[in-house]
Structures are given as structure tokens and as C-alpha cells.
């Protein structure tokens, strides 16, 4: 199960970095741009993920993941005073997650934890959060692309470059590695 924890940690790091690479491409005003009146901005989605990270991973094994002190509705009100504050809070919240994951061992993975009074194995809870964060990071990236338009710097294989990318990959010796190792 150490390979599971290592792999899932790398995936969380990947999604954290996709967020940061999007933040890097927008300015302080653009983090609050919304595609529509009922839509969320980059800063609001980031604030929601930060709130969720803090709630879910604080006292992860011993308390319900939905903390009484969490004000989820407030997460959907823009309040960051710029990109630097947003990025700092993003990184601090992800650090909490990584600390918890680094403290887990095989015996913890089948333990039961609760989120809103619903029981999950630790593995199920981790997978739930990975899916949740990847969903929202995808939204952040999409909004960043909408804001930057032609000036967007792709975070994956650029259009028209798949063949060259695959050639490079297949020119390497087969080996066990994680797809995020060279990102």
C-alpha cells in the first residue's frame, strides 16, 4: 500500500501544480473574473478547495471531515487580496494534506473515517478527495484558458505535438515511473 500512498501523493501534487501553473498565467484582477453571473472565478474555486482541504485533513483519522468551524458558503465569496495570498493559502492547505498522507501507514488504510457522518475507508476518503480536487482544478484551468485565450500556455501536450511527444516517450527504455515525474 506504500505504492498507493506514493502514487496518490504524486497525483495530488500534480493537481496542485496545475492550479499553480494556471495562477502563474493570470494577474490579480483576472483571478476574480467569472464567465457568467452564476459561475465561479479562479479565486472562488481555489478558496473552496482550500476550505475543503483544511476541513477534510485536519484531525483526519479522528474527526468528521466536515468540521463545525468550516463555513462552506463563505468559500463562494471572493475575498483574496490578490494572487499571492491565494497561492499562499493554496500551498499551506495542500501542505496539510501531504503531512497527513506522510503519516499514514498500511494499518490506517482500512480504518473508517467519516465525512458528513458517512463512513469511508481511508482509501475511499482519499480517492473521494482526489476526484473532488481534480474536478475543481479542471475548472480553474478552463477558466484560465478562457481568460488568456491565444496567450494561454498549455499545461499538457500542445496541439499538433502528440506524435513528437509519443515518439520521445517510446524512444525511452521501458521502466516503472509515474507520468508526473517529468512534468
Q: Please tell me the distance from the alpha carbon of residue 45 to that of residue 33, in angstroms, as a whole number.
A: 11
Predicted confidence at residue 176, as pLDDT, reads 86
Mean pLDDT computed over 140-163: 95
Confidence of residue 1 (pLDDT cuts 50, 70, 90): low
Instruction: List, for residues 88-142, the tens digit of each pLDDT value.
Output: 999 999 999 999 999 999 999 999 999 999 999 999 999 999 999 999 999 999 9
CATH 1.20.120.450 fits 2-157, yes or no: yes
Q: Please tell me the distance from the alpha carbon of residue 49 to that of residue 180, in angstroms, as a whole number.
A: 21
Q: Which of 99, 85, 90, 167 is nearest to 133 (CA)?
A: 90
Is the pTM higher than 0.85? The answer reads yes
Q: State the cell numbers at 155.
A: 499545461
* Sign of the dihedral through C-alpha 78, 84, 90, 92: negative
Predicted confidence at residue 179, as pLDDT, reads 84
Q: Are 41 and 34 in contact, with CB atoms under 8 Å apart?
A: yes
Question: What are the extents of the domains in the chain?
Answer: 2-157
Q: Please tell me the distance from the alpha carbon of residue 183 to that of residue 41, in angstroms, as a whole number.
A: 26
Amino acid at each position: 500500500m506504500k505504492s498507493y500512498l506514493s502514487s496518490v501523493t504524486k497525483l495530488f501534487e500534480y493537481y496542485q501544480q496545475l492550479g499553480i501553473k494556471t495562477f502563474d498565467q493570470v494577474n490579480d484582477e483576472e483571478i476574480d473574473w467569472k464567465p457568467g453571473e452564476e459561475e465561479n472565478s479562479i479565486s472562488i474555486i481555489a478558496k473552496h478547495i482550500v476550505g475543503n482541504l483544511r476541513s477534510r485533513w485536519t484531525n483526519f483519522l479522528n474527526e468528521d471531515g466536515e468540521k463545525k468551524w468550516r463555513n462552506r458558503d463563505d468559500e463562494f465569496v471572493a475575498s483574496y487580496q490578490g494572487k499571492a495570498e491565494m497561492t499562499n493559502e493554496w500551498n499551506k492547505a495542500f501542505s496539510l494534506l501531504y503531512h497527513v498522507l506522510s503519516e499514514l501507514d498500511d494499518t490506517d488504510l482500512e480504518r473508517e473515517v467519516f465525512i458528513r457522518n458517512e463512513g469511508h475507508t481511508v482509501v475511499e476518503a482519499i480517492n473521494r478527495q482526489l476526484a473532488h480536487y481534480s474536478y475543481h482544478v479542471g475548472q480553474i484551468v478552463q477558466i484560465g484558458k478562457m481568460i488568456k485565450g491565444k496567450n494561454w500556455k498549455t499545461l499538457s501536450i500542445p496541439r499538433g505535438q502528440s506524435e513528437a511527444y509519443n515518439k520521445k516517450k517510446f524512444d525511452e527504455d521501458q521502466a516503472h515511473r509515474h507520468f508526473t515525474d517529468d512534468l
